[in-house]
Amino acid sequence: MQEDKTLGYALFAMRIGMAIMFLVWAFDKLLSPDHAVAVLSGFYGQNAETLPPMLPYVLGAAQLILVLAFAAGAAKTLTYGALLLMHIATTVVSLKMHADPLAVPNILFWANWPILGALIALFLLRARDRFLSV
């Protein structure tokens, strides 16, 4: 019984930690849409000139809703899976930054790997993540 409680607390801590990180990304899209456009063009190959001006706001709002549902532990397969897939995409498109890890700011991109590990663990253990979960 104690082991289940400890696991529940650990999964909750991971869920909230990941939610905080993803909230920053969502707020970045909403509060700094130019940065979101730069990321879309620099990493995802989108032409900044052709992107709709509302796109960062739509993406940010959708991500905000998804992250809040994730933080609440709602629709776990959907929300945990969606954030995992989003992060996999982020990791894949930034792989070139991993080629020279000690160059500034490339070392920051190495944080993708423990985040990816935490998201995989949360997804695999989603049925056991019940502490403060709807």
Domain of residue 116, residue span? 2-128
Q: Is residue 28 part of a domain?
A: yes
Helix axes 112-124, 76-93, angle to 10 degrees: 160
Q: Are 36 and 56 in contact (CB under 8 A)?
A: yes
Going from the C-alpha of 20 to that of each of 16, 96, 107, 115, the distances in angstroms are 6, 26, 21, 12
Looking at the domain assignment, is residue 113 inside a domain? yes
- pLDDT, averaged in runs of 10, over the chain (134 residues): 85 97 96 92 84 94 98 98 97 89 86 96 96 93
- 57 burial (CB, 10 Å; 0-12 / 13-18 / 19+) is middle
pLDDT value, residue 99: 86
What pTM, to 2 d.p., does this model score?
A: 0.90
Instruction: Establish if 134 belongs to a structural domain.
Output: no
Q: Specify if 98 maps to a domain.
A: yes
pLDDT of 50: 86
Q: Number of folded domains in the chain? A: 1
69: its two tokens: 């549902």
Residue 17, both tokens: 């930690």
Looking at the chain, the number of H-run helices and the number of E-run strands are: 6, 0
